[in-house]
Amino acid sequence: MSSCDGNSRLSTPVESSQPVEPAECSHPSSTPNDNSSQPTPIPNEDSSNSNADNSKLKSEVWQHFVRKFEKGEWKATCNHCNKSLGAAPINGTSHLRTHLQRCPKLRNVDIKQKVLTNCFNKGEGKIKLNAYSFDQDIARRELSHMIIMHEYPLSMVKHVGFRRYWAALQPLFKMVSRNTIKNDIIKIYDYERVKTMKLVEKNQSRFAITTDMWTSSNQKRGFMVITAHFIDEAWKMQSRILRFVYVPCPHTKEVLLEVLLECMLDWNIDRKLSTVTLDNCSTNDAMALSLVDKWNSTYLMLQTAILYKEVFFRLRQRDNQYKTLPSEQEWDFAKEICGRLKLFYNVTELFSGTKYPTANLYFPKICEIRMALSHWCACSIDVIQQMAINMVAKFDKYWLVIHGIMGVAAVLDPRYKMDLLEFYFPKLYGDEYLEEVERVRQLCYDLLIEYQTRQKQSLDRGVEVGKEIKRSVNVKSELDHYLDEDVLPRTPDFDILSWWKSNGLKYPTLQAIAKDVLAILVSTVASESAFSTSGRLVSPHRSRLHPKTLEALMCAQNWLWAAEMQDNSTAESHGYATIYDDMDIDEPSCITTVIIKLETDELMLDVVVLMEYGCTNI
């Protein structure tokens, strides 16, 4: 309290920034010039808290209290339980520390200790030293992310073991229901969809679209996945699932086309397309080459069966019911088929890698397949010969559509340029190879003129005809200069995207072409990889999922993992880890497991049936 005694002074510091009225009780003999009897300033009761003055509140306890001047004295209000305590300077902070140790909302907290926490609140994705405080909304969001990214069932929030674990980890978390977590997932899908749309809109290069049609074996429903591939501003290959949409029967070409067009218009990419690669099915009229990667499992099965050929003979001796032992002729035939399927296996392994290959890698592999098919047509085994003839007819149909753009992609590889065309085309076309080489070369010049015109229209529209011709000659000279330079050393770790990123000033128009062409995919394996996940999603324990919920899970998983791998190199090495990837590190190899299980009749019959199917219907 302030005293009216002139020899007494109020020692409370002035914390208010507002004007202060003089005190009414002053000494009668005081004069304006008498400094000893000046009225004592009193802080405004409505003034803001003094925590903003860091020079006077240096103790770490003030991180948990708000200091205010109320009813003539200083008070400290706890941020956790809102209890008001004395905060006069003469009181110190010992009683505040004691309260923090007893605060019902803050148990066992050492206010001097800070922890390393992920900054989920700010969305920075960085780790820093920070005071941790529990947030229910953030915890719910991270739980939804976990379910999406790792394919946990939505019903896990009802599991007793999970609830006990979470209660032990964070007692303050209030567990949500299955419907609540589903609604949270839909909100995350909507939020990530807006972010992905902004990314697509910001991208200036063209998009290569791959699509595939797949029918769930559990629900007999058809789903269509549409994936966009592009090279971003940092010259990194990107892939985003745009739609995972339920398509009711019948799956005619008109129905599929309507779904595809609706997706392109919805994402506003209908005028930014480079290619559309469709699945190899009868309902698609225009499509690119799609390798039959279903043969991969047949190749691996045959390779394992041939390796453990003796097991079949032992099984015949131990089991009288086993009567489908392959003959030596059938074993020889299986070896012939396995050796030929190895080529397709290696190529599809390249095409379906985690980082999808750029278009320049397709050309030599496709040429190797065509050359192998030509040799198989002369095989002495009638089945293989007929198979090769049928494949050549189908190959040539697709080759006429895609060999030009794949040739351009090969030319844009500074390690080869025209060398690949001059090496493979004589083997594919014979004496007419020069015409095919010149056709690809002319396509390169046509693309230059097209990109030159597009750039010219965006810069100025009032260019005279003479200047246009002059610029066209200059752009052609850019390609000539590129082809005249020596090829680069053929190193396996060559990064073509980094090379074109750093040579944009030297070849600006070719750089723009490379950014669009190198993102083109000639196989739908990128879209089909999504269905390897969706097959688990629409498993019996998820058979009740609504198609919109399924689409939200599929698309959100793709978008969240893309962001995670971009910011975290360790996540990229682990990939799409799910609950189905559970295996002990010291577990025997799959081949050892197969040979052990070959003792059972069921797997043995499966292997033999598959081999017999390959002999007669491959």
Q: What is the pLDDT of residue 194?
A: 95
> In whole angstroms, what is the distance from residue 568 CA to residue 430 CA?
50
Pick the closest to residue 241 from 561, 585, 572 (CA basis). Answer: 561
User: CB-based contacts of 308: which residues, under 8 Å, 6+ apart?
Assistant: 594, 595, 598
Look-up of token digits 């004691």: 98
Enter the tokens of residue 524.
């739908």
8 Å CB contact between 244 and 530: yes
Pick the closest to residue 363 from 329, 406, 320, 313 (CA basis). Answer: 406
Instruction: Examine the pLDDT at 53 and tell me if it is beyond 70.
Output: no
Residue type, 112: K
Per-residue pLDDT reduced to its tens digit, 519-532: 987 666 655 555 55
Q: What is the mean pLDDT of residues 476-497?
A: 87
Beta bridge partners, 231, equal 237
Q: What is the pLDDT of residue 294?
A: 53
Q: What is the pLDDT of residue 537?
A: 52
Q: What are phi and psi of 46, to 5 degrees?
A: -95, 10
Q: What is the mean pLDDT of residues 274-303?
A: 60
Q: What is the mean pLDDT of residues 451-461?
A: 73
How far is the CA of 268 from the CAs of 51, 169, 191, 321, 376, in angstroms?
Answer: 51, 45, 18, 62, 46
The model carries a pTM of 0.66
Enter the tokens of residue 525.
């394996």
Enter the tokens of residue 468.
């246009």
Instruction: Examine the pLDDT at 216 and tell me if it is beyond 60.
Output: yes
Pick the closest to residue 362 from 409, 423, 422 (CA basis). Answer: 409
- Verify cis geometry, omega within 30 degrees of 0, for the bond prior to 250: yes
Instruction: Examine the pLDDT at 413 and tell me if it is beyond 80.
Output: yes
Pick the closest to residue 373 from 349, 400, 391 (CA basis). Answer: 391
Q: What is the pLDDT of residue 70?
A: 85
Q: What is the pLDDT of residue 187?
A: 96
State percent of the chain over pLDDT 90.
27
Q: What is the mean pLDDT of residues 192-208?
A: 93
Q: What is the mean pLDDT of residues 361-371?
A: 87
Lowest mean pLDDT among 307-311, 383-387, 471-475, 567-571: 471-475
Instruction: Examine the pLDDT at 11 and tell me if it is beyond 50.
Output: no
Lowest mean pLDDT among 65-74, 111-120, 597-606: 597-606
Enter the tokens of residue 539.
């498993």
8 Å CB contact between 272 and 206: yes
Q: What is the mean pLDDT of residues 367-389?
A: 87
Enter the tokens of residue 189.
């899908």
Per-residue pLDDT reduced to its tens digit, 556-570: 999 999 888 876 655
Element (H, E) at 556: helix 547-567
Q: What is the mean pLDDT of residues 323-351?
A: 82
Pick the closest to residue 206 from 450, 11, 397 (CA basis). Answer: 450
Sign of CA dihedral 278, 279, 281, 283: negative
Enter the tokens of residue 25.
């009780």
- pLDDT tier for residue 43 given thresholds of 50, 70 and 90: very low
Q: What is the mean pLDDT of residues 79-96?
A: 86
Enter the tokens of residue 313.
């003979």
Q: What is the pLDDT of residue 105?
A: 74
> In whole angstroms, what is the distance from residue 405 CA to residue 212 CA?
22
Instruction: Examine the pLDDT at 473 and tell me if it is beyond 80.
Output: no
Q: What is the mean pLDDT of residues 67-84?
A: 87
Q: What is the pLDDT of residue 589?
A: 40
Q: What is the mean pLDDT of residues 320-337?
A: 84
